[in-house]
Structure 1
Amino acid sequence: MENMRSIYRDHVSMILSHPGMEFRPTEQELVYEFLIPKNSGEYLNDHINEVNLYGLNPFDLPQTDSFTYSGRRGTQIRWYYYVATASINDQDGKRISVGGYWKKKGCGISVEGNGGVVIGAKRSFVFYATDSVGGAIRTNWIMQEFSLFRNPEPPFVLCRLYRRSTVSPVEVMDLRQGDDTNFDE
């Protein structure tokens, strides 16, 4: 089992060292190959940093910690971090952060391993920026938090952050009016 993890980590290191290659772990890989070893104290050379995410504004995340991801919505930049559970300030389902808060979106889902065994949980959060008057504005920042199943107080959770790309219907209409391209063909 440990040999397979070592092979996987070597594979990730090789991918990240080649230009044009992507770091695209599945939810199962995030929990099994990264979060479980991190919480058990195993040495990891996995290129994911440990930070106090709630001490950062998502708009200020360093580009050096990011990974490019090409998916069905085009190219996105994603950030992966280990976050110490002791740094999480949870108030009424909101995670208080610098410049705003992360609000839980929906209910968590299970992350299943081989054979359908539940190995972790995934919760999604949306960042709301707050202003000096106390108002909050929903942003397009999404955080997916992965935690271990049946571990009441693990030292770390793993967070994947990205900006959701959205185009409103008004923007689509503006694009159609300003361009001769026929979008209906």
Structure 2
Amino acid sequence: MVNPVGLRFLPTEEEIVDHYLRLKNHGGSNTSHVDQVISTINICNFDPWELPRQSRMESKDQVWYFFGRKEKRYNRGERQIRKTKSGFWKKTGVTMDIKRKRSGHREKIGEKRVLVFHSSGSKTNWIMHEYDAACLSPTQNMTYTICKVHKKDEGREISSPGSDIDAHSLSLITHMNNSGGESSTAASEVGLSQSQTL
């Protein structure tokens, strides 16, 4: 799937969990439009540089999204790594809560883990943000996660905990403001407007 000219697929963390991940986990006919946007793969079957070809959407921003089956991989002190053909993904930092901002009490709707790809004994510039939806009722079965994979530029930092706008999104908004384009508010709403049109 190719993004329309001028649009970027930049959902917020709340939209990733509440819109895409929850619909995928509920299954049935509700998932047809999210499956058109995000591929379902076993991410460890591929090295990170092979992942862009597996994405349903082209990305000029070097960011790709994938659904993956949820596995119990963090039971042993959250240190388990995931191997691929040429290296492994390793968790870094603490697991962060994703909270719904529209509700007054900011309920937790999911979690985010940051993983870095290691190859030939050293860290690479490939980063993965793995999103996991929280069960809000006993009947919900959360089977899938969403993995947001990107290749970090040399000068770009991983987003800090609690930050809504990661360095990638911020650079897009800054570029749009400096080039006389849309306002930063409009730019931050692209993820929402894109998801509503799908």
Q: TM-score, normalised by structure 1?
A: 0.68
Q: Secondary structure at 2:33's aligned position in 1?
A: coil
- Residue 81 of structure 1 aligns with an amino acid whose one-letter code is F
State the distance in 2 between where 1:54 and 1:90 align: 18
Q: Greater relative contact order (Cα 8 A, min sep 6): structure 1 or 2?
A: 2
Q: Per-residue deviation at 1:17?
A: 5.0
Q: Secondary structure at 1:62's aligned position in 2?
A: helix
State the distance in 2 between where 1:100 and 1:93 align: 14
- Residue 154 of structure 2 aligns with an amino acid whose one-letter code is T
Contact residue 103 and residue 126 of structure 1 kept, 8 A: yes
Pick the aligned partner of 1:81 from 66, 80, 100. 66
- Residue 59 of structure 2 aligns with an amino acid whose one-letter code is T
State the distance in 2 between where 1:110 and 1:118 align: 6
Using the aligned pairs only, state the percent identity: 26
5+ long unaligned stretches in structure 1: 1-12, 70-75, 131-135, 169-185
Pick the aligned partner of 2:153 from 140, 165, 182. 165
- Aligned CA-pair RMSD: 2.8
Q: Which moved more, 1:79-88 or 1:108-117?
A: 79-88
Q: Secondary structure at 1:28's aligned position in 2?
A: helix
- Residue 82 of structure 2 aligns with an amino acid whose one-letter code is R
Contact residue 28 and residue 112 of structure 1 kept, 8 A: yes
Structure 1 residues 107 and 17: alpha-carbon distance in aligned structure 2, compared to 1, 3 A threshold: closer
Q: How many residues align?
A: 143
Task: Say yes or no: does 1:95 pair with 2:85.
Answer: no
Q: Secondary structure at 1:98's aligned position in 2?
A: coil
State the distance in 1 between where 2:130 and 2:110 align: 10
Q: Secondary structure at 1:18's aligned position in 2?
A: coil
Q: Deviations over 1:109-135 (max 9, x none)?
A: 1111132111000000000014xxxxx
Q: Per-residue deviation at 1:43?
A: 2.3
State the distance in 2 between where 1:50 and 1:39 align: 12
5+ long unaligned stretches in structure 2: 157-198
Contact residue 73 and residue 80 of structure 2 kept, 8 A: no
Contact residue 135 and residue 142 of structure 2 kept, 8 A: no
Larger Rg: 1
Match of 2:188 in 1: none
Q: TM-score, normalised by structure 2?
A: 0.63
Q: Deviations over 1:35-94 (max 9, x none)?
A: 01101113231310000101100011234625536xxxxxx3101000012496988431
State the distance in 1 between where 2:75 and 2:53 align: 27
- Residue 66 of structure 2 aligns with an amino acid whose one-letter code is Y
